[in-house]
Amino acid sequence: MAGAKYDPAGPTNTSPNNTGVRVLPPAVSAFIYYPYGDSAEFPALGSGGRSACAGPVYYYDAELPSAVKFPAALNHTLLIYEWTRNWIKLVQLDDQDRIVKIEPFMPQQKFVRPIDMQFGPEGALYLLEYGETWGVNADARLVRIDYMRGNRPPVAVAAVENNIGPVPLKVRLSGKGTHDRDGEDTLTYEWRLISAADPQAQPRVLGTGLEIEAEIAEAGVYTAELMVRDTEGASRSATVPVLAGNAPPELRFASPQSGDFFDPAQPIAYQLVLRDAEDGTNDEEQIESGSGQPLDPEGPGRASVNAVFLTGPIPRAGVPATDDLTAPSGLKRMKNSDCFNCHAVDQKRVGPMLLDIANKYRGVEGALEVSVQRVQKGSTGVWGKIPMIPHSHNTVDELREMVGWIYSLEPAGLVRVFQGFAGEVSVPAEEAGKSGYYRLEAVYADRGAGPVPSLSSSVTVFLRQRLVEAEQADEVRGPQILNSGNASGGRFIGAINHGHVLRFSGVQLDQVGSLKLKIASAGAGGAIEVRLDSAEGELVAEVPVEVNGHWEQFYERTVDVGKRAGRRDLFIRFTHPGQAGGLMNLDAIEFLPRSAEPAL
């Protein structure tokens, strides 16, 4: 039963359970407030998800003897921070606690979800960073932020080459990157060697230059420390590890080689070659020539191969799988939004895990557009009682990319471990029909030598499935990745214009005789060119694309690519002599072995 409206100027607590005051202070409007989008009242706060947090107010103490306390200019300043937007702001207050201005705090510093802060007794700021996602985070940390007056200490940077090996070990130490923050002081350098066996002993001075070479004659585990001092006496240090007395093992795959194809109907045979200065070798040529000693009988037990089937393009050498330069655009947009505050790929958090969403809707006609609308407008009841906030600040096209990336997710295959230097990896039936690649990672751990513990080496090869989804190309230059229940992986390459290109890197052409393409066209059709090394490189094949009247009913065409040798980049170029756009769609490419005759 409705009663009278509450009076915000004189609220009362009439609950029979109230044991405190009945008449409460007048309600006060929010001090700082902002929406998901841009704020007209507080434009300095930006846009995006919201997790507003209020920190301490700083009060300058002139009597406090501290070299790191915050300055008097920040007296009576409130610090606020955003867990979602990853920033800290300074709110300068007047003597009536009214806002004078809001400005960024350390804008060049990347904060990773600040969750708490407090000033210490010395006037420095202690900050707790939660880390990138919910749960256990490797990047969670507690940091102290000092204010450095006058002369600031130098920044010490240490690097080392040849820091692991047999004795005598000649190491190259470098302090390149070390610098003085004030830019005026002359720096001095001292390299010292500290033994892990006796860290309290007097360190041995190795040299005093920015870059030096030093010889370590006694086996052991050490730390090389660079001590840097400026002309005012301020100093900082940096360290690097040194292990003298045990050479790391050298491990390689004799077969297969990275980029080779595997056939799902056949097991993947592998052979490893090991050379270790202390343990010996399994290389018969080295043993027969006398340049290597046979490996001890327990050696094969220290070698293993981890095999796992994965989807998506093969990672590029030297580029992390999570690198933003190579990440799908949908994933990039999700990282820049608030999605991972409530979702994880393979864990349920506030919202459902993204793999569950992908498994429920993958290949379902029209599901993507429904999901896009739910994300844009917000929804509740689909995955539980907790509502999903609207994301009206994102455009529909941006949300399509984000939801499309979610729909593309598939669970990683089971990691299987095989012992020894030689063996076979069987391909399970559930993986044989999927498009993806195998990652084989070989690991060998040696026996150690004297005071130096066991050292490990690893090497990885990536093996291609012959059936490759077009959207898993190493580079998509121009077309769009679209969703369809008729496509073999639930997605295809579409919106293709004249001159658009796909790149497949490092294809082992010795193992390819022809290509089978799954194509469709309700537009202009055209041709698909197969070129080597670049989009304008040698033309090795051309496939005419006939119009079949359907955009998502794919037919197959096979073309011979001749007998080519070596590992080359393969470019798929879409062309039409008189039409700029609306040409065709491409679902998948199968790299057929030379024994397979091309269809006519």
Rounded CA gap, 244 and 282, in Å?
24
Contacts of 474 (CB under 8 A, 6+ apart): 313, 314, 316, 503, 504, 505
The pLDDT assigned to 1 comes to 53
User: What secondary structure does DSSP assign to 298-343, as a single string?
Assistant: TGGGGEEEEEEEE-SSPPPTTS-TT-TTTS-HHHHHHHHTTHHHH-
The pLDDT assigned to 600 comes to 44
Q: Would you write out the chain's pLDDT as a tens digit for each of its 600 residues? A: 567 888 899 899 989 999 999 999 999 889 999 998 899 999 999 988 889 999 999 999 999 999 899 999 999 999 999 998 999 999 999 999 999 999 999 999 999 999 999 999 999 999 999 998 766 788 899 999 999 888 889 999 999 999 999 999 999 999 999 999 888 789 999 999 999 999 889 999 999 999 999 999 999 999 999 999 999 999 999 999 999 999 999 999 999 998 899 988 789 999 999 999 999 999 998 898 888 899 999 999 999 999 998 876 777 654 444 444 445 678 878 877 778 778 888 788 778 989 899 889 877 888 889 999 999 998 888 888 888 888 888 888 889 888 988 887 877 777 899 999 999 998 887 777 677 889 999 999 999 999 999 999 999 999 988 999 998 888 999 999 887 878 887 789 999 999 999 999 889 999 999 999 999 999 999 999 999 999 999 999 999 999 999 999 999 999 999 998 899 999 999 999 999 999 999 999 999 998 755 444
Rounded CA gap, 67 and 313, in Å?
53
List phi, psi (to 5°) of 107. Answer: -65, -20
The pLDDT assigned to 327 comes to 59
Rounded CA gap, 107 and 44, in Å?
12
Rounded CA gap, 317 and 567, in Å?
14
Rounded CA gap, 306 and 315, in Å?
17
The pLDDT assigned to 363 comes to 73
The pLDDT assigned to 320 comes to 44
Rounded CA gap, 547 and 524, in Å?
7
- Residue whose C-alpha is closest to residue 54's, from 84, 30, 32, 79: 79
The pLDDT assigned to 99 comes to 96
pTM of the complete model? 0.70
Backbone region of residue 21 per phi and psi (left: phi > 0; alpha: psi in -120 to 50; beta: other values): beta
User: Tokens in use for 334?
Assistant: 């999700």
Contacts of 5 (CB under 8 A, 6+ apart): none
User: What secondary structure does DSSP assign to 46-60, as a single string?
Assistant: -SS---EEEEEEE--
The pLDDT assigned to 322 comes to 45
The pLDDT assigned to 324 comes to 47
In our burial notation (b when 16+ CB lie closer than 10 A, e otherwise), range 320-337 reads eeeeeeebbebbebbeeb
Q: Which residues partner with 224 through β-bridges?
A: 193, 240
Domains of the chain: 43-145 (no CATH), 159-244 (2.60.40.10), 250-311+413-465 (2.60.40), 337-408 (1.10.760.10), 467-592 (2.60.120.260)
- Residue whose C-alpha is closest to residue 532's, from 503, 558, 560: 503
Spatial contact of 479 and 578, defined as CB atoms under 8 Å apart: no
- Residue whose C-alpha is closest to residue 180's, from 208, 210, 212: 210
User: Tokens in use for 246?
Assistant: 């045990």
